A and B are shown apart, each in its own frame.
Chain A
């Protein structure tokens, strides 16, 4: 079974802190994704990565950056956390963009910024 793990289930940070959210997948997937999930808005794509060291902005990249130095790990970075970044963050991975493969999701990190 594909497993996508996220470093924390719950996280509380203060405004202005630099925050790292880590995601690891164990199936040698090429593609990885970061979403945020907010009530009434569904899932919105923050950043995605085609492959190692490759990254692309999604629909709401402002205030975020990412890093993918190894194929299995995709990190989301909040450079200076703000209260409007309080949300549920979901990581996903996919084998490849060719062929209609599904995305596999991690359990999510609920981040609260105070």
Chain B
């Protein structure tokens, strides 16, 4: 079945450092890909998404590019802030049928001043 693998955390960075969180997927067909973020004490919220190969999703300085050839959707940000500390989830959904989300295990990001 479909699955998502993302890097183990926590990822610990200093403010203004460059961020990469790796995400790879296994799926039949051509899924849509998502990054969700969960701030402390809150539910998940959509950070960005891409629906087809070579699409780049972006939001709040974060970017991720849908790479079909490497089945990857890595999350990047050029300069992280303390307020970016959160848990980041990579997810996919098939583009047919009910389009359920399949999540990775989450990566905790800790940014220190």
Question: Does A associate with B in a complex?
Answer: yes
User: Complex: how many Å from CA A104 to CA B44?
Assistant: 8
Is A81 an interface position by the 8 A CB rule? no
Which residues of B does A touch, CB under 8 Å? 32, 34, 36, 41-46, 49, 51, 89, 93, 95, 97-101, 103-106
The one of B49, B89, B106 that contacts A102, using a Cβ cutoff of 8 Å: B49
Indicate whether A90 sits within 8 Å of B43 (C-beta atoms), given known contacts A97-B99, A100-B99. Answer: yes
Other-chain contact of A42, B43, B45, B98, B106 (Cβ < 8 Å) = B106
> Is the CB–CB distance between B46 and A42 below 8 Å?
no
Please report which residues of chain A, range 93-109, place their CB below 8 angstroms from some CB of chain B when the two chains form the complex.
97, 100, 102-108
Q: A24 on the interface (CB 8 Å rule)?
A: no
Asked if residues A45 and B100 are in contact (CB atoms below 8 Å), the reply is yes
Least Cβ–Cβ distance between A3 and chain B, in angstroms: 11
Chain A: which residue is nearest B97 at the CB level?
A: A97
B43–A108 touching, CB < 8 Å: yes
Binary contact track A57-69/B, C-beta < 8 Å → 1, others 0: 0100000000000
Q: Are A102 and B34 in contact (CB-based, < 8 A)?
A: yes
Residues of chain A at interface, number, CB under 8 A: 23
- A 29-73 to B, binary, CB cutoff 8 A, 1 in contact else 0: 001000000001111110010100000101000000000000000
Q: List 27 A-B residue pairs with CB atoms under 8 Å apart, sorted by A's residue number.
A: A4-B43, A31-B98, A40-B105, A42-B89, A44-B103, A45-B101, A90-B44, A92-B43, A97-B97, A97-B98, A97-B99, A100-B32, A100-B95, A100-B99, A102-B34, A102-B46, A102-B49, A103-B101, A104-B45, A105-B36, A105-B43, A105-B45, A106-B43, A107-B41, A107-B43, A108-B42, A108-B43
Question: Considering only CB atoms, which chain B residue lies closest to A40 in the complex?
Answer: B105
Contact B98 A50 (CB under 8 A): yes
By beta carbon, the residue of chain B nearest A90 is B43
Cα–Cα, bound, A97→B41 (Å): 28
Q: How far is the CB of A96 from chain B (nearest CB, A)?
A: 9
A107→B42 CA distance, assembly (Å): 5
- Contact, CB under 8 Å: A100 / B51: yes
Bound Cα distance A42, B92 (Å): 13
The interface residues of chain B lying within 8 Å CB-to-CB of A108 are 42-43
